[in-house]
Amino acid sequence: MPIIFENDSDVIVYALEKIISFARNIQHLFVANCVWWIAGILGFDGNLRIHIDNLTLRERTIRGVSSTP
């Protein structure tokens, strides 16, 4: 299944998100923090935060967990 991006920055945000989620899963927090630092320097930290929040909400919806407390 191909992945289609609207612009070039979405490709970078997608790659950064994959690195961060992999580093968190194997508990390499130093790597995850370094990637956040790089994203901040490049100016993608806001887009990255939105992308990860959307993925989290989508995952909660699939599991059937309400996002409201």
Judged against a pLDDT cut of 80, whether residue 3 lies above it is answered with no
Total domains in the fold of the chain = 1
54 pLDDT tier (thresholds 50, 70, 90): confident
pLDDT at residue 55, rounded to an integer: 81
Does 3 fall in a domain?
no
2: in domain = no
Report pTM: 0.65
> Would you say residue 53 lies in a domain?
yes
Residue 13 burial (CB < 10 Å; 0-12/13-18/19+)?
buried
Give the residue among 44, 23, 26 at the shortest CA–CA distance from 34.
23
Is 1 among the domain residues? no
Residue 65 has pLDDT above 70, yes or no: no
Q: 46 pLDDT band (50/70/90 cuts)?
A: confident
Q: Whole domain around residue 36: which residue ranges?
A: 8-62
Whether 69 is covered by a domain: the verdict is no
Q: Taking 60 as the threshold, does the pLDDT of residue 36 lie above it? A: yes
